[in-house]
Chains A and B, each alone.
Chain A
Amino acid sequence: MFYRLSGTYHTSYAADRKLWKIPADRWMVILLLILAVLAPLYVSPLYLGSYVLPWVIWSAAALSLTLLMGLAGQLHFGFAAVMAIGAYASIHLVRFGVPFELALLLSGLIAAAIGTVFGGAALRVKGLYLVMATLAMQYLVDWVVVNVPAISGGAHATLRTPEVSFLFVPVESLAARYWLALGWAVVLTVFFMNVKRTSFGRALVAIRDKDFAAAVIGVDPFRTKLMAFATSSFMGGVTGAILAYCFYRAVTPEQFGFNVSIQLVAMVLVGGLGSVIGSWLGAGFVLLMPIFLTNVVSGLAAGGWVPVSQNFLSHLPLMIYGAMIIGFLLLEPLGLAKIYDNIRKYFLVWPFRHARS
């Protein structure tokens, strides 16, 4: 990030549309990717399994949701239900004898089909009313999963994921599960960036920004919104399956409840709507910050720095966490992604003040 630049100049249209236009950015991405791939070698299994792995998977989930909420502007408060469909579908498909790779794809398609049906509501309603429609989806899917024993295995049952292998590698060891999740998250990240630089992404943003102006230049609102719901639900469905196989390894309906949907929305909002890096930062923040704060506060308490009662102590991290979310959104409504962008642009032209992207 510490480099100076007089401007970015390209000699071809292809170069102008590169994902990372500045060499330093490219090097940073390659470095991060190498670090991420090699993580099982230097991160302790405890941290890898309980922090890094969920972070990677939830980032993929946040990316799926932000395609719909950030790019297409369609609010969705039932995204955990989409992931539940993917998770349950993949488990039943594999039990049925479908190869795991195909089951992942099919579970995504099933989630896309069901998600699109509910997304059809978006063609008639906007804003808060769409929130209600998607909430209905959340509760309906929850209810069906809990009350149909063929899906959940009974009201309070836990469904273990069968043993599978992905491209002949058993998805069993922590490293294998991590690599599968990381692979999917990287695929989604690259996909998302490609969407943003192609006509598909522009059509989504056009529908979000001004639907009448989009219609007047030939964007079909009906088709575009349905495509947004289908794509996002496909991504969410596969992510749900990955979450089941790579992290939970045994699913219950509570893992895909309403509170999870809200948490996903929080990730997307805190990270920054429609942003790739925002999805990663937002997921990391929402997942890891409470844990981090709890550790810091209890550490301080143990050292006698925070003289408060034990009862209050357990709530203190949550209060700080809430204050941080409000603070971030007050200071920068566009989320962590914008904060990152500001810092990046500052160093891009330092010691001068004005940056061109």
Chain B
Amino acid sequence: MTGDNVLVCDNIVRRFGGVVALKNVSVAVRQGEIFGLVGPNGSGKTTLVNAITGFYPPQDGTITLDGQKINGLKPFRIASMGVARTFQNVALFHGMSVLDNILMGRHIFMKPNPLASFLYPWWAQKEEIAHRRHVEEVIDLLQLAPARDEHVDVIPLGLQKRVELARALCAEPKLLVLDEPMAGMNQEEKEYMVRFILDAQDALGLTVLIIEHHMDVVTALCDRVLVLNNGQEIAQGPAREAIADPRVVEAYIGKPRNAA
């Protein structure tokens, strides 16, 4: 549980025109923990994730992964350094089967080239099968076997989110970033998803950064949380304590009216 920091964000600032979406946000995610990112809509959670994964590089501050500076790198570079993520609205490849989508997760370990494809039996096949083994382990872990050969756009949303998680897990990430993995799910699907995340963390020793709105999920999953409001940190610490903080309650449901 304890250990070194995997991800360190130091005084991150991100502006969009005149809007300051992140104001000096600092956060450190430790090896092996599940770290929650909480806050009302528009508080800058997804912007922080986008800053970490390289889509909106921060204008100020530094982000380090395992001691290496990653801000300013292109998203695909950051991905190949071991950051995998899922998206709030599922971002699967609709032209592919479930299996091919998950195989894409192995992309950073593969060396695609047309000549290898041309000489498939002598060259590419070995690589394909070796990676298929890894993929099948993740498919077993997330119980996706029955859907393996389906096309991704015909399976239900809950399953699509699980496929996206599987794709991210296949990259053997140092840091797994989950952007609202439970959005749009019913209670049963949510419970399944929590169980899968815990299983995966147990089996693979993951470090997870998770954005989540459902407080029951946050308290069930997260070791520590950071609460953002209007791009600023308002609380950080162990999940239950941080969420009970009066400023967090105020940000979510408003200030209790003073008796006067």
Give A contacts to B, CB under 8 Å.
Answer: 13-14, 17, 191, 194-195, 197-203, 205-206, 208-210, 212-221, 224, 227, 231, 274, 356-357
Contact = CB atoms under 8 A, between A and B. Distances in A.
17 contacts: A17-B125, A194-B117, A197-B120, A198-B124, A199-B111, A200-B113, A200-B117, A202-B104, A209-B96, A210-B91, A210-B94, A213-B91, A214-B76, A215-B74, A216-B91, A218-B76, A221-B76
Contacts of A231: 114
Contacts of A215: 74-76, 79
Interface string B96-113: 100010011111101111
Given A197-B120, A212-B55, A220 B76 contact: yes
Nearest to B150: A356
Interface in B130-145: 132-133
Interface in B55-85: 55, 74-76, 79-80, 84-85
A213 B76 contact: no
Interface string B121-162: 000110111001100000000000000010000000000000
Q: Mostly helix, strand, loop or mixed at chain A's interface?
A: helix
Which 7 A-B pairs rank lowest in CB-CB distance, beginning with the nearest?
Answer: A218-B108, A213-B91, A218-B79, A200-B112, A209-B93, A199-B112, A215-B75
Given A14-B129, A216-B87, 6 more contacts: A13-B129, A13-B132, A209-B93, A212-B75, A214-B104, A216-B91
A217 B149 CA distance: 21
Contacts of A221: 76
Contacts of B104: 202-203, 206, 214, 217, 219
Contacts of A357: 149
Nearest to A357: B149
A200 B116 contact: yes
B222 interface: no
Given A205-B96, A206-B104, A217-B84, A191 B118 contact: yes
B100 A202 contact: yes
A217 B95 contact: no
B26 to A, nearest CB: 24
Contacts of B37: none
Report which residue of A17, A200, A201, A216 has the largest number of chain B beta carbons within 10 angstroms of its beta carbon: A216
Contacts of B103: 199, 202
Contacts of A200: 112-114, 116-117, 124
A213 B53 contact: no
A217 B86 CA distance: 10
A227 B114 contact: yes
B87 to A, nearest CB: 7
A228 to B, nearest CB: 9
A213 B92 CA distance: 7
A356 B93 contact: no
A74 to B, nearest CB: 14
Given A205-B93, A213-B91, A218 B114 contact: no
Contact of B95 (A194, A205, A219): A205
Nearest to A213: B91
A355 B118 CA distance: 31
Nearest to A356: B149
A199 B84 CA distance: 18
A127 B24 CA distance: 39
A318 to B, nearest CB: 34
A100 B116 CA distance: 25
Contacts of A197: 120, 128
A194 B113 CA distance: 11
Contacts of B79: 215-218
A29 B75 CA distance: 43
A275 B128 CA distance: 21
A194 B107 contact: no
A25 to B, nearest CB: 16
A69 to B, nearest CB: 13
Contact of B120 (A194, A213, A227): A194
A133 to B, nearest CB: 23
